[in-house]
Amino acid sequence: MIYNERDMRAEAVRMLAEAVMVAARTAPKAKGRDLVEIAMLTDEDVERLSNMMLEVSAETGLKFLLRDAANILQAQALLLIGTRNPDEACALNCGYCGSATCAEKPCEVPCVMNAIDVGIAIGAACSKIADLRLDSRVLFSAGWVAKRMGVLEGADLVFAIPLSSSSKSPFFDRKSPEKR
């Protein structure tokens, strides 16, 4: 039997994305608290996210959402990595959130340690992506809209990483949307 790589590309990217999700999961977490949420979107769910990005662009006037909405459609898989803001405080009293103690931090303000955890998880994911030689880009835009959609239930900080296997990465040298 002969297998052509072009016919297997999307399936291969999805399989490799699973290894990337494991790398993100095993990244170190502050005080050992695992508040990181990870999901993979494919096919119609990527299209749904792209369509919502177009709607949010129209609502907010943010043009970069137009470019990124078109760009994620070139991905064979899209990872979402976020973190939850737990009810209980981290109890480090570091003050990095702007409050003197964790007890004084307003509940709607994310714990900085959680933000660092999601950053470390993204770094671990990107390291694995580089090892696998997949095309990728970390996107605030798609993660932000996915958060608004509630894709990662309960996650406060969400970032997206579209993944592709192509002869030239579709996630760099992107054209900006036309100005109105």
Residue 74: the pLDDT is 94
Report which DSSP code applies to 173: S
Residue 101's domain spans which residues?
5-164
**C-alpha span between 93 and 23 (Å, rounded):** 29
Report if residue 177 sits inside a domain: no
Residue 85: the pLDDT is 78
Along the 180 residues of the chain, how does pLDDT read in single tens digits? 998 888 899 999 999 999 999 999 999 988 888 899 999 999 999 999 999 999 999 999 999 999 999 999 999 999 999 998 776 667 889 999 899 998 898 888 888 888 899 999 999 999 999 999 999 999 999 999 999 999 998 898 999 999 999 888 878 877 776 653
Residue 138: the pLDDT is 97
Residues present in the chain in total: 180
**What φ, ψ does residue 42 adopt, rounded to 5°?**
-140, 170
Residue 98, domain CATH: 3.40.109.10
Strands 155-164 and 135-136, by their bridges, are antiparallel
What domain count does the chain have?
1
Q: Which amino acid, one-letter code, is at 2?
A: I
Summarised one tens digit per residue, pLDDT across range 42-55 is: 999 999 999 999 99
Task: Kindly report each contact of residues 124-128 with a partner whose C-beta sits within 8 Å and lies 24 or more positions away, as own/partner.
Answer: 124/23, 124/24, 124/26, 124/27, 125/20, 125/21, 125/23, 125/24, 125/27, 125/79, 125/81, 125/161, 126/161, 127/23, 128/19, 128/20, 128/22, 128/23, 128/24
Residue 88: the pLDDT is 67
Residue with structure tokens 């958060």? 147
Report if residue 46 sits inside a domain: yes
Report if residue 179 sits inside a domain: no
